[in-house]
Amino acid sequence: MSGDAHCEKLREAGAELALGVLPGRERAEAVAHLDGCADCREYVRQLTMIGDRLIGLLPEREPPPG
């Protein structure tokens, strides 16, 4: 696969990678691509920051039933 094809594939799976839910083999391929691609590393870094901020918006405890 060319670099552009790897970048496109990573961008399709970037959110899953950032949230830690990308399956093992796909995750390994994505991480290998990130080792050599600064643009994709930055893309995943930004997605990770957004995910962290969204998690910070959740209440600290469960809401009462009803």
Q: Which residue has the higher pLDDT, 42 or 52?
A: 42
pLDDT tens, position by position, 8-49 = 999 999 999 998 899 999 999 999 999 999 999 999 999 999
Averaged pLDDT for residues 54-63: 75
| Interatomic CA distance for residues 12 and 23, integer angstroms | 14
Integer angstrom CA distances of residue 41 from 17, 22, 34, 35, 44 = 11, 16, 5, 8, 5
